[in-house]
Amino acid sequence: MHRALIRQLFPDAPIIHCHRHPFDTCLSIYFKKFNDNHIYARDLSEIARFYKKYREIMDLWEDTSAGIFSLRYEDLVGDQERISRAIISHIGLEWDNECLRYYDSSRLIMTPSYTQANAPVYADSIYRWKNYDGHLQPLIDVLGSPEQYE
């Protein structure tokens, strides 16, 4: 949503867009206990509508010469080193093997994903939506069949 502002403030800054299966994304938001600033996160239909708008915006930006490096989360998990090397190359840095050991850092993480950011890459969240097959109708109504995104 803030790509234009980012480009104004940091015209040469590389932008990386990591996306995953929409149903996994929506369920991840739904299961996280967000504060009242994210009231939409309590309703699967609302989350799906937000997701759909987000994808429309990203599709628009990715179709331009915006220089956005787009990658699938599932690809990163499946081949962490290859994708990580591509990211590092995109941002113009030299490769360092420590990139694969990001979780060994002592930095403070203040996001809802702090647990995951302090752990090695894992595949448990890929296609997690399949565990909730009988409860996905609100997502299907807005986003369509989950299989179309595989």
Tokens of 22: 């929409």
**Taking Cα atoms as reference points, which of 1, 107, 133 lies closest to residue 55?**
1
3-state secondary structure of 37: helix
Say if residues 71 and 86 touch (Cβ distance below 8 Å).
yes
Query: For residue range 77-92, what is the model confidence (pLDDT) as tens digits?
Result: 999 999 999 999 999 9
Query: For residue range 48-68, what is the model confidence (pLDDT) as tens digits?
Result: 999 999 999 888 887 776 678
Q: pTM of the entire structure?
A: 0.84
Residue 80: CA atoms inside 13 Å, Cβ hemisphere, count? 11
Instruction: Determine the Cα–Cα distance for residues 1 and 133; give it in Å rounded to an integer.
Output: 31
Say if residues 50 and 41 touch (Cβ distance below 8 Å).
no
